[in-house]
A and B are shown apart, each in its own frame.
Chain A
Amino acid sequence: MKRMLVWLIVALVALMLAIAPGAARKLRVVATTNDLKWAVEQIGGKNVEVVALMHPLQNPHTVQPRPSFIVQLNRADLLVRIGLDYEETWLPPLVEESRNPKIRRGGVGDVDASIGIPLLEIPQGRVTREQGEVHIFGNPHYWLDPENMKIIARNIANGLRRIDPANADEYERNLKRLERLMDDLLDETLKLAAPLRGEKFVAYHTTWSYLANRYGFRIIGYLEPKPGIPPSASHLADLIVRMRQEKVKVILKEPFYENRIPNMVAQRTGAKVVEICPTVGGEPDTETYPKLLRRILTKLVNAVQSEK
């Protein structure tokens, strides 16, 4: 027994030495989504090494934590998250298990990208589970608006300055550059999305509210009767009648939702189901945020024009 304990202690010491910290290195940043990863790369430049936890094709509600998530969080200098309870079902216990005090809520390396975002759909009055899986702080799909991307970038720059004050000027320069890029992107995409103004759509989930708000189209209904609640026959019948009356010709759907119900509704309304990934890297030619936004808007414009 004693010999076994001695061997156990020797093994522990050897393992501890094996993981001793190395020489100077880039800042390790963990972003929860590819959109945030892109923004961190723009601000951090050559000083950062960024990984994204979620796969762009994954539903944020069903992220299956993998061991590598904890490894990355354990080594992170900075964690950038969407916030507003978007990652609440899986991220907090992983941060705790990572044993990295820097990235805990309020830690020096914790960046909530939603700070300062003008939020949409903040529930009013008493919030209960009766309302479905309601986001109590407001709709968290805020990144699909270039104006909001500027705020995200500002939050990231603040986080980087906190942990790396020596390069603060560089982060500020990169931030200014990204802000100009977003202004140009907004001008360009407003022209691109001009045919969408006043158009009416139906969506599976509340992913597109900020995009609709910025580019002037309306989501008149959702396949889900309440966020996260299964579509019932009664709700779908209501929705179909409304779509027919309002002549809605496009149903928006993310790749991680099933096709059956959107197709059922499409068959009865003559609408077209348009599958769009709302995240950078989920589809070909969307490896950057500007490319993603152009692709989403082009798809919507094409869908609207083809139905006319």
Chain B
Amino acid sequence: MARWSVWAVCFLLAASVWGQGNSEPTNSQENELQRLRERVAALEKLVQVLQAELAALKNNGAAPPLGTHPVAIKQQADEEKQKLEEELKRELEQQPISSTVSRPSSPPSYGAVVFGGGLWQALNPDTSVIANFRTAFRGKRPFASFAGSEFSEAELAFQAATDPFSRLDTFVAVGPDGAEVEEATLSVLDPTFLRLPRNLQIRLGLLRAPFGQLNNIHPPEQPFVDTPLVHRLWFGQEEISPEQIPTEGSFVGTGLSLNWMVPMGKHLTWLTVAPLNTHNSVFDADTGRPAWLFRLRHMHELSLTQSLNLGLNYAFGRNDLGKDTKLFGVDVTYRWRPLKEGLYRSLVWQTEAYWGWRGTDNGDVKPKGWFTMVEYQLSRTLFLGARYDFAQAPDKSFSGRGFSLAITLFPSEFGRYRLQWSRLKIGGRTVHEVWLQTTFSIGVHRPHPL
């Protein structure tokens, strides 16, 4: 029975194979074959087209018409490109061109170089290096003497939130004379955890003094190579003479700053109180008393494109003679940036004036100093600045006045080239200076707010 079953199965299989091999193709199979043939033909055509496009792309051009020799096309394109390039170069050089480099959110000289970017890491501090190189030619006439690469410095910045309540900003200046901490500030971001009313901000550490508007900007980011005379004479090194005045001066000190922000409609007012230990030509903390600083700052929104910043400053403390010293200052800053053309045009005008009452054994000495400066954006990358300043030495032993013109080129957000001419008349002596400054930044530098 089993044998019969095997034979039956074999027979059925053989019959099935024989039947398949001898059957004619059906209509549907024929149609399918035809469809596949057409599809293959279409794909062949597509491959040819793609090959032509690929060849054209390799030649930096579009797909050539079928039958055109790719080498001839490339030569033609190269010639056309060279001709165009020369023509465009000529046209671009005819007038200052607005570049497409993004400008900082605030004008570069006052809010300074804004080094934004999205590389802000979650846990690592924001780290940046700003390299600042300056070369000076100095004498009775410009180029009379070469002062050499008078100064170069790298500013290292490390900035991060320490926890939900505070942040740490540290700036270290590294120069030929070594490293110096310029500013190291712990800011209390959320004073409510100290059970203080909201809108208060507390800062501790080595601070840039809340006195005037320009003093808040780090020197590499200021609109001129040097700081105004009044800063150099009053807040620079302690020993000054008409022959030897520093290139920079910043009012810094160690201590505490308590700042209260008061929104007023669409305007803002800040009140700041800061007791600081500071050493400069005006105040000397070695006398055992800190300098107390008070600043009232009001920022007024004039329109969508204009704002006005007004400041009143007052400070008192002791000088190197151990006598009482007081300072009073006012500052005004006007900013304009149009809405649509904001990439290409802007204007900042800033003026600050200071008066001092310096106690001496022979009564009060009352020095004064002021500066006014303007910076206008000529194109997307080019800025023109002018400054006039006057200052008396804190002991009124001599005075100086100066006029400076600076042209600054920002080829990108991260590089800056500046040429500055200054005429200084200090203690009856006139000096011309020509400066070249290059400033480069790498890493992430947090933009200044306002």
Contact = CB atoms under 8 A, between A and B. Distances in A.
Interface of A: 8, 12, 15-16, 19, 55, 57-59, 61-68, 70-71, 74-75, 84-85, 88-90, 92-94, 96-97, 99, 101, 104, 129, 133, 135-137, 204-205, 223-224, 228-231, 233-234, 236-238, 240-242, 244-246, 255-258, 260-261, 264, 268
Contacts of B263: 19, 70-71, 74-75
A261 B344 CA distance: 14
B104 A89 contact: yes
B46 to A, nearest CB: 15
Interface stretch (B22-30, B89-97, B130-138, B367-375): B89-97
Contacts of B267: 67-68, 71
A64 B105 contact: yes
Contacts of A236: 84-85, 88
Interface of B: 56, 60-62, 77, 80-82, 84-86, 88-89, 91-92, 97-107, 114, 116-120, 164, 167, 189-190, 192, 197-201, 260-263, 265-268, 271, 294, 299-301, 304-305, 307, 335, 337, 339-344, 346, 380-381, 411-414, 442, 446-450
Contact of B61 (A57, A59, A230, A245): A245
A258 B98 contact: yes
Nearest to B314: A4
B450 A230 contact: no
A207 to B, nearest CB: 13
Given A62-B342, A71-B268, A258-B344, A92 B100 contact: no
A21 B171 CA distance: 38
**Which A-B residue pairs are the 4 nearest by beta carbons?**
A85-B118, A89-B116, A90-B105, A230-B99
Given A62-B337, A224-B100, A238-B60, A256 B118 contact: no
A237 B81 contact: yes
Nearest to A73: B263
A93 B201 CA distance: 14
B271 A65 contact: no
A204 B60 CA distance: 20
Contacts of B192: 101
A153 to B, nearest CB: 24
B102 A70 contact: no
Contacts, number: 203
29 contacts: A57-B340, A61-B105, A62-B337, A62-B343, A64-B106, A65-B105, A67-B300, A68-B266, A85-B116, A88-B117, A88-B120, A89-B104, A90-B106, A90-B447, A94-B449, A96-B189, A99-B201, A133-B117, A133-B413, A136-B118, A224-B100, A230-B100, A230-B381, A233-B89, A237-B85, A237-B88, A238-B60, A258-B344, A264-B91
A141 B433 CA distance: 47
Given A63-B105, A133-B413, 16 more contacts: A58-B340, A65-B449, A67-B300, A67-B450, A68-B267, A92-B446, A93-B447, A99-B199, A137-B118, A229-B101, A234-B85, A237-B82, A241-B81, A242-B61, A245-B62, A258-B98
